[in-house]
Structure 1
Amino acid sequence: MKRYILTLLLAAFACTACDKDDEYEIREWTVASQLGIAHGPHTLQPVLLVKANDDTSWRALYGGIEGFEYQPGYEYRLRIKAEQLPDTPQDGSSIRYTLLEQISKAPATSVIPERFFPAFTMEVAPQPMNYRGQRFLSVRFPESGLNEWQPWPFRIEGFEYEPGYVYRLRIGTSVVPAPDSPAGYYSIRYSMLDMDRQPAED
């Protein structure tokens, strides 16, 4: 009987320990030397690109790593803690990543797949639209099946808009330091790759 009770106590202790260990994982990652671009809740956003020892390809990391200061031009080896959050933030990740150790930091040029710098086609209407008291380009994205006109608040490098024309633009993307922001903040730069312009029909 005593042996039976002892066995139950040991089993209960083991299960408790397992549950506690399951609350987080320790991982080792390589961080790419440049940021990639991924789809956020509402628009494209810069993201860290990471892979584990057994990974063969980069993946986007939403939300960043607490305690980690990223500098482009270096590949990092990190030991991090991945902790499951009891309550997932709205439009946020359900896992919190925290830096435990920076194992290495070496100058490098990571080979990043083109999918992390997406290009897309945009149509621009002949007249801008008013949105919340401001005037924006009126755009839609036919390749994505988004055929409703919507405001476009971002600058497009190399594109000069003139009302009265329907534009079809091919847009490329890249990550740049965010203007008028502290060091370590980044934003998406949209650049015109190609343009077709036709007079609007009356």
Structure 2
Amino acid sequence: MASKIFKLGGGLLIVLFLILSSCKSSNSDPEDSGITYWINSSRVPCVGVSPMECLQVRQSESADWQLFYADIEGFDYEPGYLYRIKVREEKRDPENTPADASSIRYILVSVEEKTPN
């Protein structure tokens, strides 16, 4: 009798584990899907470590354009287009980050929209 209960209990635990492992949490981290960035259609002159050209970005359609000094890994910028993209931000290991690099690594998740300007 005890072994029958043990087998039944073990079977229920396995079924419960399978159910729970197949469910995706509805409260998943919003940054998993990326942060939305709008990219302007032209780069502008800016000065980082030296003179360069920066992207202009904003995180909402109504926000002002801001200079963006870093690269977005995987993003193939083409002048003349307005972009809405999703970007994942990852903190870099401070010990392995060059002095002139951003402390954050920007990685393209997806290009949501690309519109000629």
TM-score (norm 2): 0.66
Measure the CA separation in 1 of the matches of 2:71 and 2:53: 10
- Matched residues, percent identical? 35
Deviation, structure 1 residue 54? 6.2
Q: How many residues align?
A: 86
Higher strand residue share = 1
Runs of 4 or more consecutive aligned structure 1 residues displaced over 6 Å after TM superposition: none
Measure the CA separation in 2 of the matches of 1:30 and 1:102: 10
Residues 63/24 of structure 1: CA separation in 2 closer, same or farther (3 Å cut): farther
The equivalent residue for 2:13 is: none
Give the unaligned 5+ runs of structure 1.
1-20, 109-202
Please give the root-mean-square deviation of Cα atoms over the aligned residues, in Å: 2.1
Measure the CA separation in 2 of the matches of 1:45 and 1:24: 31
Higher helix residue share = 2
Aligned AA (2:79): P
Q: Is the 8 A contact 2:56 2:66 kept in 1?
A: yes
Q: Is 1:36 the counterpart of 2:44 in the alignment?
A: yes
Which structure carries more relative contact order (alpha carbon 8 Å, separation 6+)?
2
The equivalent residue for 1:73 is: 80
Q: Is the 8 A contact 1:24 1:82 kept in 2?
A: no
Residues 146-172 of structure 1 show CA distances to partners (whole Å, capped at 9, x for unaligned) of xxxxxxxxxxxxxxxxxxxxxxxxxxx
Give the unaligned 5+ runs of structure 2.
1-28
2:54 to 47, 51, 66: 47
TM-score (norm 1): 0.39
